[in-house]
């Protein structure tokens, strides 16, 4: 044994040293023996490192192979450009069994979040609740798309490493540059911006608020369905169930969306309602047409691409014609556009149950519409997603 030989060699030289030297050598020998003896237990540096790695591996196994981590996905995506350059950051080659995995695409706007603590808090609530209730089968992947500016992306990457740690499903994270998308969107939506944007004129930066309107032109054709949601949500059920609503679309429908739950459009269409007192435009459901809320939207991109009617309505002349017909002037971007064309062509929309976008804002109750407010605000049935619009408090579970 190496240790015994070492002790024997030391003891053989004892006679050549003074007594104090002997004591020092004996102490050193004992220290060596003790190191090797106790080091045989599982407490040395190497075994500790191994144990840490095993613990991490076990943790990932318990998360049902949710190993598509933020750092890995982002570094891989930065090396590839997808969709023929149409949608920056989307991978085109095989990765993580992409050839067999079914992907559920979920998109959120994530701009100017780095400067807004309130948005950060809302995002935290949304992601933690999504992870808590999210369940997907083996071979299914939740693809999380974030449209972001560079500073917000940096923050988002850090936050998501924490917020996704308990995910029991496979996921991908893809960030898309807001400036690049705005450049692509502006020629498509410029004409409608003056009708549905705050202030006068069509501002270049406002184009991103119309992303859902023209997403079928921006997304690669390989993506046929996507859900776009606001950040100020709290999920109370498995997000996969929302995707299943696509299969309930009525013939001709290209977008799934819930009704507006305040008398917003009763107010916005005031002139048209005055000129057409028998119209149900702006009236509460179920008999009326209260308009839409864009906090949760199911976009059937394949149907949007194939619909001659929908694409005809995107043309400048038709947007202007409908805006003039309904005396419409809005400020809520895509929501206004969908509401306006929905008045004329309701067949383009599948009506989501109010529980999929249970809006909590009560602003209009205190601003002239208290007498009819509850007719709009009422939502019977289970709540699947809370929407804390206009900074409303979301109930605890």
- 219 CB contacts (<8 Å, ≥6 apart)? 83, 86, 87, 226, 301
**Considering the chain, what is the average pLDDT of its residues?**
81
Q: What is the pLDDT of residue 331?
A: 85
Angstrom distance (rounded) from CA 122 to CA 107: 16
Per-residue pLDDT band at 158 (split at 50, 70, 90): very high
Task: Give the pLDDT confidence of 110-120 residue by residue, as tens digits.
Answer: 999 999 999 99
User: 369 pLDDT exceeds 70?
Assistant: yes
- 187 CB contacts (<8 Å, ≥6 apart)? none
Residue that the structure tokens 């599948």 belong to:
350
Neighbours of 54 (CB within 10 A): 10
Per-residue pLDDT band at 282 (split at 50, 70, 90): very high
Task: Give the pLDDT confidence of 191-233 residue by residue, as tens digits.
Answer: 888 888 765 444 555 789 999 999 999 999 999 999 999 999 9
Q: What is the pLDDT of residue 321?
A: 96
Angstrom distance (rounded) from CA 42 to CA 52: 12
Task: Give the pLDDT confidence of 70-87 residue by residue, as tens digits.
Answer: 333 443 233 333 332 334
Residues linked to residue 175 through DSSP beta bridges, in sequence order: 146
Residue that the structure tokens 């692509």 belong to:
184
For the chain, give the number of residues. Answer: 397
Average pLDDT over residues 12-22: 48
Q: Is the pTM of this model over 0.85?
A: no
Where is average pLDDT lowest: 110-119, 185-194, 304-313, 322-331? 185-194
User: 93 pLDDT exceeds 50?
Assistant: no
Q: Which two tokens stand for residue 327?
A: 């005396």
What residue spans of 16-114 are helical by DSSP H?
Answer: 19-39, 45-62, 70-77
Q: Which two tokens stand for residue 13?
A: 């030289």
Nearest to 288 by CA among 276, 280, 298: 280
Average pLDDT over residues 289-302: 98
Average pLDDT over residues 291-320: 97
Average pLDDT over residues 167-186: 96
Establish whether the linkage from the previous residue to 120 is cis, with ω within 30° of 0. Answer: no
| Cβ burial 238-252 (10 Å sphere, 16+ → b, else e) | bbbebbebbeebeee
């Amino acid at each position: 044994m190496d240790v015994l030989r070492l002790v024997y060699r030391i003891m053989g030289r004892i006679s050549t040293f003074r007594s104090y030297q002997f004591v020092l050598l004996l102490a050193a020998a004992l220290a060596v023996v003790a190191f090797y003896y106790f080091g045989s237990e599982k407490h040395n540096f190497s075994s500790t490192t191994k144990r840490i790695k095993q613990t991490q591996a076990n943790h990932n196994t318990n998360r049902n192979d949710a190993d598509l981590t933020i750092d890995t996905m982002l570094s891989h995506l930065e090396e590839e450009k997808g969709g023929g350059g149409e949608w920056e950051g989307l991978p085109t080659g095989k990765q993580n069994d992409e050839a067999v995995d079914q992907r559920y695409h979920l998109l959120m706007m994530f701009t100017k979040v780095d400067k807004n603590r309130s948005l950060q808090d809302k995002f935290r609530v949304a992601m933690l609740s999504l992870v808590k209730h999210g369940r997907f089968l083996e071979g299914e992947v939740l693809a999380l798309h974030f449209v972001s500016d560079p500073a917000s992306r940096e923050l988002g990457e850090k936050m998501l490493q924490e917020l996704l740690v308990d995910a029991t499903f496979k996921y991908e994270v893809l960030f898309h540059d807001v400036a690049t998308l705005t450049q692509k969107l502006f020629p498509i939506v410029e004409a409608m911006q003056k009708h549905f944007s705050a202030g006068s004129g069509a501002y270049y930066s406002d184009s991103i608020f119309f992303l859902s309107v023209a997403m079928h032109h921006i997304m690669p054709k390989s993506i046929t369905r996507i859900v776009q949601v606001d950040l100020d949500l709290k999920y109370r059920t498995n997000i996969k169930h929302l995707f299943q609503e696509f299969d309930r679309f009525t013939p001709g429908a290209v977008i799934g969306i819930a009704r507006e739950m305040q008398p917003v459009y009763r107010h916005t269409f005031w002139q048209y309602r005055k000129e057409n007192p028998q119209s149900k435009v702006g009236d509460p459901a179920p008999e009326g047409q209260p308009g839409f809320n864009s906090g949760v939207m199911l976009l059937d991109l394949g149907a949007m691409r194939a619909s001659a009617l929908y694409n005809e309505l995107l043309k400048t002349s038709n947007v202007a014609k409908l805006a003039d017909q309904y005396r419409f002037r809005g400020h809520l971007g895509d929501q206004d556009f969908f509401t306006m064309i929905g008045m004329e062509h309701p067949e383009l929309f599948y009506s989501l149950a109010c529980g999929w976008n249970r809006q909590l804002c009560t602003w209009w109750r205190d601003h002239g519409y208290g007498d009819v407010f509850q007719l709009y605000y009422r939502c019977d049935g289970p709540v699947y997603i809370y929407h804390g619009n206009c900074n409303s408090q979301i109930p605890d579970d």
